[in-house]
Structure 1
Amino acid sequence: MSRRVFTAHTPDTAPAAARAAMAGIHRKLGHLPAAVALMAESPELLKGFLDANAVFETTDLDPVAREVVVFTVATRNECHLCVAMHTVTLTRHGGTPELVAALRTGTELPDRRLEALRRFTLAVLHHRGAVPDDEMDAFLAAGWQPRHALDVVLGVGTYTISTFANRLTAAPLDPPLAAYAWEPTAA
């Protein structure tokens, strides 16, 4: 079956329960991203992602650290849209070009502490939360706290929703993101 089963909704065609969220995103960004228009098919999914993301944004992880988690999930799940979007976000939060490039390619990060965070996020994904003691120890030895491990789990959950929904609906890049296009590297 084709991906054409998903409708890129407008505020006029969206289910009523999705319209307020769509309007809020449009106000905040100045446009309605295609991914949001597609997620609006399920108001609960859209609300769930937005609510989870709002909570993730309040964690003890600073903005750059949160973006490391998001990028790690996005590249692991091969979400071209999230990688492009979060390239812009990380740059806006002061991420260096070297940091952005390493995250986009999945290579070692130039900052030791952020690299420990990236590796821990990968461990959470790979082990489905049952992170081995040595990997937890390495995370904590890099200066992270136990609460940060749980913040990573929240970020993984939040961006699993987004990456899976974007891939399922084949969400396209919006024109402002075209310069940040990303494709996974062949393994």
Structure 2
Amino acid sequence: MSRLNTPSLDDVPADTREILDKVGGPLGFVPAMFNTIASNPAVLEAVTTLQGTMSRVLDAKTRHTIALAVSQANECGYCLAIHTYVSARFGGMSNEDIDLARAGSSVDPKRAAVARFARRVVDARGQVSDADLAAVRGAGYTDPEILAIVTVAVQALLTNFINNVNKPDIDIPAVDSVGAPA
């Protein structure tokens, strides 16, 4: 059960409802996390703006891989549910690749390197080693892409922390085992 108050839609400003509608449109529902964040329209705008901006920096499978690896590292059940659902339904990721991403790997060697690096960023609280940087560079990532990887990881951390504090009910449509929508 959510530990933070969730406003009713009647209690949020019209521009906040518009943001919620944009979030929920592609999914067919507004995830509980966003309904709760709507209690602070500035935070909702910050989260959704960051997500929109970061959706343009790396390909979708790479972003999903990072989000799954980071959410697993932070033991965020809500984020794992939503990222598993979105990765399978919209991201074209197989159950195997979703499982591997959660474990910090991938079926694709380049994405496996990004998953390991994202986990290192989280585990080391950003204090990655020269070897960590060399490994992700060795997989073919440029320094501008490494900045994007770190930012996508931090974006996932932000929602992990919000959801770990709040502990919302998981309202994500069911997925079988790890990935495919039921």
Could you say which TM-score interval applies, normalised by the shorter chain?
A: 0.7 to 0.9
Hey, what does 2:129 align to over in structure 1?
Answer: 132
Question: Counterpart amino acid of 2:106?
Answer: L
Partner deviation per Cα, 1:94-124 (whole Å, 9 max, x = no partner)? 21221112223x1543322111111111121
Q: Structure 1 residues 138 and 174, CA, compared in 2 at 3 Å: closer, same or farther?
A: same
Measure the CA separation in 2 of the matches of 1:169 and 1:135: 33
Deviation, structure 1 residue 161: 1.5
Deviation, structure 1 residue 5: 5.4
Deviation, structure 1 residue 83: 1.1
Q: How does 1:10-159 map to 2 (within 5 A)?
A: 10-14=8-12, 18-59=16-57, 61-91=58-88, 92-104=90-102, 106=103, 108-159=105-156
Partner SS state of residue 7, structure 2: coil
Aligned-residue RMSD, C-alpha: 2.3
Measure the CA separation in 2 of the matches of 1:132 and 1:4: 38
The two structures have a TM-score, normalised by structure 1, of 0.84
CA contact (8 A) 2:68 2:80 kept: yes
CA contact (8 A) 1:84 1:180 kept: no
* Mean CA deviation greater in 6-15 or 146-155: 6-15
CA contact (8 A) 2:70 2:157 kept: yes
Deviation, structure 1 residue 179: 4.7
Deviation, structure 1 residue 181: 7.5
Q: Structure 1 residues 144 and 107, CA, compared in 2 at 3 Å: closer, same or farther?
A: closer
Structure 2 runs not aligned, ≥5 long: none
CA contact (8 A) 1:15 1:41 kept: no
CA contact (8 A) 1:123 1:131 kept: yes
Partner SS state of residue 118, structure 1: helix
Structure 1 runs not aligned, ≥5 long: 183-187
CA contact (8 A) 1:9 1:40 kept: yes
Measure the CA separation in 2 of the matches of 1:5 and 1:109: 34
Measure the CA separation in 1 of the matches of 2:178 and 2:92: 20
Question: Counterpart amino acid of 1:101?
Answer: D
Question: Counterpart amino acid of 2:40?
Answer: S
Number of paired residues? 178
CA contact (8 A) 1:69 1:118 kept: yes
